[in-house]
Chain A
């Protein structure tokens, strides 16, 4: 099973919005509402930002939102701030043989 597909990079200016896509298949992203997103700053552990497609953990700013359409999930960061610059990874449940898939990651640059 291949990893989920993310663009390697994305960018935006402070205050702008940026959307990162995560494309899977009808066996993973399209089949289950178990899509999550993680933020990772250099040298740090990943941090959960979105779970079950669009839910935010306590403490995550509401500037971060998630959605899904067919086999593609998306993470939108609104009102970009300098501290949002990081790598972002999507993940999805992929059934009871593959279990968990991650995307290849997207480096978000705040210009």
Chain B
């Protein structure tokens, strides 16, 4: 059974880079697209981006200038970097799986538990 687990610092200073990793266990990271979604406290969900094991990425246009998502197939994990963070980037960050094989269905059937990242000095 595939399991996703986010990891990374819970506190990041303003203007610095937020870096998170999602470890995929119980299955291979190849053949699926993987995504990051975030949720500010008390607010709704926001899609951040997708990555494929080939390195292909798609990003939310509103975040595109600051975000990068990469994949490490040897470690079966993918990562999120968000630069120049502000308090508005404070959120629970989720990693998730698109269930399509070698394609995208544009929804997520498997989610990590999420990790809260606070941007504060």
- Residues of chain A whose beta carbon lies under 8 Å from any beta carbon of chain B: 1, 3, 32, 34, 36, 38, 45-48, 51-52, 57, 89, 91-93, 97-105
Contacts and interface: CB of A to CB of B under 8 A. Distances in A.
Interface string B41-63: 00011110010000000111100
Contacts, number: 60
Contact of A101 (B47, B105, B112): B47
Tell me the dominant secondary structure on chain B's binding face. Answer: loop
A46 B94 CA distance: 9
Contact of B107 (A36, A45, A98, A105): A36
Nearest to A51: B107
B102 to A, nearest CB: 17
B106 A100 contact: yes
Interface residues of B, number: 21
B68 to A, nearest CB: 16
A101 B109 CA distance: 16
Nearest to A6: B44
A97 B59 CA distance: 9
B44 A57 contact: no
Given A1-B61, A45-B94, A102 B109 contact: no
Interface in B67-121: 94, 105-109, 111-114
Contacts of A104: 44
Given A34-B106, A45-B111, A102-B37, 9 more contacts: A1-B61, A36-B108, A46-B37, A46-B45, A51-B107, A97-B61, A99-B47, A99-B106, A100-B106
